[in-house]
A and B are shown apart, each in its own frame.
Chain A
Amino acid sequence: MNELRILLQGEQKNFRVGETVEGVAGWRLEKAPRSVELRLFWFTRGKGTEDVGVVRKMRFDAPQQEEGRKFSFTLPEEPWSFSGQLISLIWALELVAEPGGHTARVELVVSPTGQEILLHQNAGA
């Protein structure tokens, strides 16, 4: 049984731009992985073809079969989490172990207010 998990400090998932996201990345795998990487990225969801932008990543060297490591990322100023009628932009942390492509993902909200921006509701259009 392969298990990967991302635990965020205080289980916080809403962040303001420039804030630091901290937590622990842990994994328990059947075999010792060749590489384990934690990625901070945004991706789009909706009608358009998905776009993905990896902003920062942390590579854990010589990972053990079962391990937990702390991480800390400073969030950039852009882009912001938003949701419209065609596009939503979502931030996420993803832990990827190779070989096998085992993955765990946690979605985040990143904006100046810490809340997802609802395009049509806020603009009233």
Chain B
Amino acid sequence: MCDSGKPRSGGKERRKSLRLAVRYEYQWQGRTYSSDKWSRQRAAFSDFSKAQALADTHKLDTKAACYVNPASPSEAVLQRPTLWIGLLILLPLVFVAVGVIGMASMWTKTQSAEQGSDAVPAGKSISSRAGNRLGARAGVAFFALFFAIGTVVFYFLTLRPLLGVLAAREWTPVSCTIISSRVQSHRSDDGTTYRVDILYSYEFDGREHRSNRYHFMGGSSSGRKGKSAVVHQYPAGSRRTCFVNPHNHSEAVLERGLTRDMWFGAIPAVFMLIGVGGIIGMLRKGRTPAADVTMFQPVPIREVIGTKPTPFSSPIAFEETPGSRVLKSSSSRIVGVIAIGVFAAIWNGVIFFGFLQGSGFFLRGKADFFDLFTTLFMLPFIAVGLALIGVLIYQVLVVFNPKVEASIQPGTPRLGGPINLNWRLTGRTHVLRCLKIFLEGREEATYRRGTSTYTDRKLFLKLELASLATHAEMTSGQATITLPQDTVPSFKSDNNKIVWAIHVEGDIDRWPDLKEEFEIQVLPPLLADAA
């Protein structure tokens, strides 16, 4: 039997959160006990309406069920912890599962790479491995987790507040009195976050209610300034309009429209998009190439039941470009600068702000033993950071190298056929001492060792197209060469490639040399030519 239920706060300004105060009596095996425990955990609330709604369910002198500890009957609670909390235990297990699948995938791939096909036992199928990749499935699981987390966060951060905004359009405007108004701060290891905490009272249906909901975005976030500005608009004692849910009078809000912080919803939406994109990409990668059944003839001595045809598609397809084709460089200089710049900034930022800034060298101007030890430990990482800055400077200088524009005719040359190259150099061409242009064919094999992926390259053909030393010759020109017939066309699979490329190399004094690669697609000769 409960005697009361009432949300209490610990003072106007010092109030951290709302607490549900309750006291009730109960009978156990003929004896009467009393308890003031709502649940095993401390019953604290940040939303006044929720606390009030809960208090309203246990009014003074009403009966309710409580749960008694049979081993210690003086212990009782009104609310048992929900078993749904137990599901949270499963959340880390999902990460463990993804990790295990990922490691299994890497182990399988590593074995495959290390053993090669030579080590395949006679009784083991090779063709069954096509399109049946554990890695692809692990990838799908990983991106599905991305999507699931994004969806859950999107619901709480965006969808639920938006639904609240939509519903509140029908809520009733009521005059309310601001009781207290402040910016509430929460300190944690990750820093301090803030939330608008305005407590107000209003009358609805002849009864006084209280609420501290300002808008539909819950939780707290960084940035005190904006929240202080909101608080100043609602000084204690002033009268404002709040909006009350006509179906639940304890639910009210001061700002029922969209607010700027709802843009945070874009963050989980990005997670969701990455998840969906990743799943689609992984499913495409893991798809079994379609196969075909050709003519089937029965063996005379046996009866043949039949076959099932399936569609055919070639796993490798390079499209033919009959006209000339403007070549695109294999790497972008600007993208290179940005990529290395971002990586160098993150690396050096983490080292400086994470370790060095807190060191006694910076804080007190002198170091103790611990500072010396950590600085010594960090030296290799500092060296890598400095090397990254060096690479960044090199990449920035490369941006100012002459630019190469090149085109080939035909756009997709065939083995045994001619390839006509046109080039033009723009920018600081006067700095070049000499220029060489090559046609290269190379093997590219990608493999795993442990958790790292490596790609080895081996040149099998290098033909010189041009070697120039005068400025006029270097600036623009053309060269023709016939591709050999006794080699292989371009080939591309997941881990193995035959790459054909045109290389432009120029020497520059006291400056990074000009090195540009243009990948081209080389097709097999036409059947008549090959014959």
Contacts and interface: CB of A to CB of B under 8 A. Distances in A.
A56 B298 contact: no
B125 A51 contact: no
A50 B113 contact: yes
Contact of B487 (A68, A76, A117): A117
28 contacts: A18-B527, A24-B299, A40-B291, A41-B130, A44-B496, A49-B109, A51-B493, A51-B495, A54-B127, A54-B131, A57-B291, A57-B293, A58-B294, A58-B307, A59-B293, A59-B308, A61-B308, A70-B296, A73-B294, A78-B489, A80-B524, A86-B445, A89-B491, A96-B127, A102-B123, A103-B122, A123-B487, A125-B459
A64 interface: yes
A117 to B, nearest CB: 6
Given A79-B316, A94-B127, A74 B456 contact: no
Contacts of B301: 68
A74 B312 CA distance: 12
B154 to A, nearest CB: 36
Contact of B307 (A17, A51, A60): A60
Nearest to A122: B486
A94 B125 CA distance: 7
Interface residues of B, number: 69
A120 B460 contact: yes
A99 interface: no
B423 interface: no
A86 to B, nearest CB: 4
Contact of B113 (A49, A78, A119): A49
Interface of A: 17-18, 24, 39-41, 43-64, 67-74, 76-80, 82, 84-87, 89-90, 92, 94, 96, 101-103, 105, 112, 117, 119-120, 122-123, 125
Interface of B: 109, 112-113, 116-118, 122-131, 288-289, 291-299, 301-302, 304-308, 310, 312, 314-316, 441, 443-448, 456-462, 484, 486-489, 491, 493-496, 498, 524-525, 527, 530-531
B127 A117 contact: no
Given A52-B130, A86-B456, A70 B298 contact: yes
A125 B440 CA distance: 10
A59 B130 contact: no
A54 B130 contact: yes
B312 to A, nearest CB: 6
Contacts of A43: 117, 126-127
A27 to B, nearest CB: 11
A78 B530 CA distance: 13
B126 A41 contact: yes
A59 B307 CA distance: 6
Given A101-B123, A120-B460, 4 more contacts: A48-B447, A61-B308, A105-B125, A117-B488
A49 B448 contact: yes
A61 B495 contact: no
The 9 lowest CB-CB distance pairs between A and B, nearest first, are A48-B445, A51-B493, A52-B130, A53-B315, A45-B117, A112-B530, A57-B291, A119-B460, A49-B495
Contacts of B496: 44, 46, 48-49, 51, 86-87, 89
A24 B109 CA distance: 34
Nearest to A42: B315
A69 B302 contact: yes
Contacts of B459: 125
Given A54-B127, A70-B297, A119-B443, A77 B527 contact: yes
Given A61-B307, A80-B488, A120-B460, A56 B294 contact: yes
Nearest to A50: B112
Given A58-B296, A101-B128, A47 B461 contact: no
Contact of A72 (B113, B297, B308, B494): B297
**Which of A46, A63, A102 counts the most chain B CB atoms within 10 A?**
A46
Contacts of A84: 443, 458, 460
A48 B446 contact: yes
Contact of B129 (A18, A50, A69, A74): A50
Given A72-B296, A123-B441, A61 B460 contact: no
Nearest to A85: B458
